[in-house]
Amino acid sequence: MRMRGYSGFAVFWALLLIGACSAASCTSTGANFKVLGVNWGNATNHISAGPGEMDVPLTITLQSYGLGGNTCNLVNLEGSLKVYGGLSNFNGSSYPTDYIQQASVPSTFSMTFNLNIAKNLSAGNHTVYGYFLYLYYNYTNTTARNSQSINIGIPLYGSPRLSFTPTSRGVVAGVMNNLTVQVHNSGSGTAYYIRTAASGSSSLEQVNYPQPIASLAPGETKNITLQVYVSPGLAGQAVTFGLNPTYVSPYGYNTSAAGNLSLYALSALQSSVSLSASTVDLQGGSTSAVLINITNTGASTIENVSAILSAQSPLSIIGSSGYYNFKGIAPGATVSIPAELYVASSSSSGSTVANLDVQLGYDGQSESSPRILSFLTPGYINLTQVSTSVLPSSPSVGGIFSLTSTLNNIGTSSASAVTVTAHPPKGIESLGSNTTFIGDISPDNPTAFTVSFIVPEGSKPGRYVIPVEIDYLNNLNQRVSTSMNFSVDIAAGAAAAVGSQGQQSRKGGSGGVVPLVIILIAIGVGVYLYRKSKAKVQKR
């Protein structure tokens, strides 16, 4: 009986203790947060990022835990990342935010902020920028708003951008070719362990796999050599060699790229001469200066070289007969033909392939050999200014004004990731970020943007010209820049007059009205006396 009593007594206190613990588990005594990771991209897809990139997602992974045993859930959790000095919210503001409706304690959660990265922000392998993340939240059992700040380190190692260009576009059909390809990094970050795999057709085969490139810094170029075999039946035709390179980004992620090499299969008689162009990209609707390069790849001088250029529609040759002659080309030497090429604007939103026929002839070859140079024309984009307004219409020294302009794309292809950057002259300063992200501007879709400025005290009144740079991506993912100038007239400031009126109003508010009333009364009395005297004269 006594054991049962003690047993019941123990159970009673155990239940009481459990109830007390459960009741005290949500006490709002505090919560804290720990940063688990910061990466560009989202929580599952990590990407590289570098200067000049817009609307790039940054994901911060956090862990919440209670203080003093607190397990109160967090509701209306808001994260505000205070960025500055080159980083800004995708819409130009300084406080990008993200919201989570509820987060349990303890738990792991992520917040994502879309950021613009200024072109002039430095990047490097060990570059990390420190900012504060402000967290605002409520506990489930309270309505009071709580806040905490956490120091966040944002890495900016840069983003590689690789391009692959063959030193010669001619490969001899039916024999093994050692094709030298220049690998260039035009991005802002270093690429590591670059490996190149190729894909072609049954008539085009890569025999070897070149040694990986250990590293390629921004602006650096290194060569790889591919052994390529082309079927004899492709002689005289254009062939495409697909590259599927992979590399390790500066953030340590395995990254794949893509690229195609446009080559021309030569017959054995053509093997001593290669043909290339200084660029393969032409802008539709405008004239481009292009060098047509003829190189002697043989072991002896070739004599009496002739070249006849003829263009296929939509390509045209401007101001040239198309016929050229060279006395001789030494082994390894190159002669260049300057050509002005024009590609008509296409009504299509896609890219256009334009071909240039080159008829080569030289001593020692029984017949002339036709060649084809192919050029790629991006979709036509033409951003024009439709309207501009300034608010207020007459800004003055010491004041703030905004400039709103509407752009229209009168081309045939959409401009993507359009960004506007204002460069105010001395005497005018940007109010907030000088960069505004617009997004896409499709053809015949007028889109407006607004930039705000302040005219500091001490600036001189007069006309100011504000250059505005407009960056966008075309349909080939190439970055294109154009610029526009906006004029604004700044009037002298009225700070002194405003200050004087303010003092009078504080002393009674009638200091400027009384003298005006007296003057009006005096004028009225004078007019009355004048009319009365004139009437007396007329009676006499």
| Beta-carbon contacts of residue 263 (< 8 Å; ≥ 6 apart) | 166, 169, 170, 171, 179, 230, 238, 239, 240, 241
Q: Which residues on neighbouring strands pair with residue 339, listed in sequence order?
A: 290
Under 8 Å between Cβ of 493 and 457: yes
Instruction: Give the Cα separation of 204 and 529 in Å (integer).
Output: 112
Cα dihedral across residues 500, 502, 503, 504: positive or negative = positive
Q: What is the pLDDT of residue 5?
A: 38
pLDDT of residue 426: 92
SS3 167: coil
Mapping DSSP to helix (H, G, I), strand (E, B) and coil, where does residue 439 land?
A: strand
Count CB atoms within 10 A of the CB of residue 231. 16
Extract the tokens encoding 323: 């016929």
Instruction: Please give the DSSP secondary-structure letter assigned to residue 491.
Output: B
Give the C-alpha distances (Å, rounded to integers) separating 78 from 100, 104, 113.
6, 14, 12
- The answer, as to whether pTM is greater than 0.75, is no
Please state the separation of Cα 69 from the chain's center in Å.
47
- Distance between alpha carbon 404 and the CA centroid of its chain, in Å? 21
pLDDT of residue 404: 93
Domains of the chain: 2-155 (2.60.40.2550), 160-271 (2.60.40.10), 272-380 (2.60.40.10), 383-490 (2.60.40.10)
Q: Please report the pLDDT score of residue 528 as a whole number.
A: 47
The DSSP element (H or E) to which 42 belongs, if any, is: none
Please give the pLDDT value at position 92.
66
Q: How far apart are CA 203 and CA 170, in angstroms?
A: 15
| Rounded Cα distance, 383 and 410, in Å | 6
- In sign, the C-alpha dihedral spanning 163, 167, 169, 175 is negative
E-assigned strands of 344-399? 352-361, 369-377, 383-391
| Amino acid letter, residue 340 | E
Non-local (6+) Cβ contacts of 1 within 8 A are none
* Amino acid making up residue 100: I
d(CA 170, CA 172): 7
CB 149 within 8 A of CB 136: no
Helices (H) and strands (E) in the chain, counts: 3, 36
Is 291 within 8 Å of 330 (Cβ atoms)? Answer: no
For the chain, the residue count is 540
What is the distance of C-alpha 44 from the center of its chain? 23
User: Secondary structure of 502-515 in the HEC alphabet?
Assistant: HHHHHCCCCCCHHH
Do the Cβ atoms of 123 and 51 come closer than 8 Å? yes
Strands 238-243 and 198-199: antiparallel
Query: CA-based angle 342:345:347, to the nearest 5?
Result: 155
Supply the pLDDT for residue 85. Answer: 85
What's residue 3's pLDDT? 38
- Give the pLDDT confidence score for residue 508 in this predicted structure: 36
**Do residues 320 and 339 lie in contact, with contact meaning Cβ atoms separated by under 8 Å?**
yes
**Angle at Cα 418 formed by Cα 88 and Cα 159, nearest 5°?**
60
The pLDDT of residue 469 is 92
Residues 6+ apart with CB under 8 A from 361: 305, 306, 307, 367, 368, 369
For the chain, the straight-line distance linking the first and the last C-alpha, in angstroms and rounded, comes to 142
Which phi-psi region, left, alpha or beta, contains residue 271 (left: φ > 0; alpha: ψ -120 to 50)? alpha
List CB contacts of 516: < 8 A, sequence separation 6 or more: none
Task: Write the CB contacts of 419 (distance below 8 Å, at least 6 apart in sequence).
Answer: 54, 116, 435, 436, 437, 438, 470, 471, 472
The one-digit pLDDT tens for each residue of the chain (540 residues) are 333 333 343 333 333 333 333 333 677 667 889 999 999 998 888 999 999 998 899 999 999 888 877 788 889 999 999 988 889 887 766 678 898 888 888 889 999 999 999 988 999 988 999 999 999 999 888 888 889 999 999 999 999 999 888 887 777 777 777 888 899 999 999 999 999 876 665 556 666 677 889 999 999 999 988 888 888 777 777 777 777 889 999 999 999 887 777 777 776 655 577 788 887 777 777 788 899 888 888 777 888 888 888 888 788 888 766 788 888 888 889 999 898 888 876 655 556 677 788 877 776 553 445 677 777 777 778 899 989 999 998 899 999 999 999 999 988 788 888 999 999 999 999 987 788 888 899 889 999 999 999 999 999 999 999 999 999 887 766 788 889 999 999 998 753 222 223 333 333 333 443 343 344 444 444 434 445 444 443 444
Give the integer Cα–Cα distance in Å for 100 and 76.
Answer: 6
pLDDT at 346: 63
In this structure, the strands spanning 315-318 and 334-343 are antiparallel
Matching residue, tokens 């002896």: 300
Q: Which helix or strand (DSSP H or E) is residue 60 part of?
A: strand 56-66
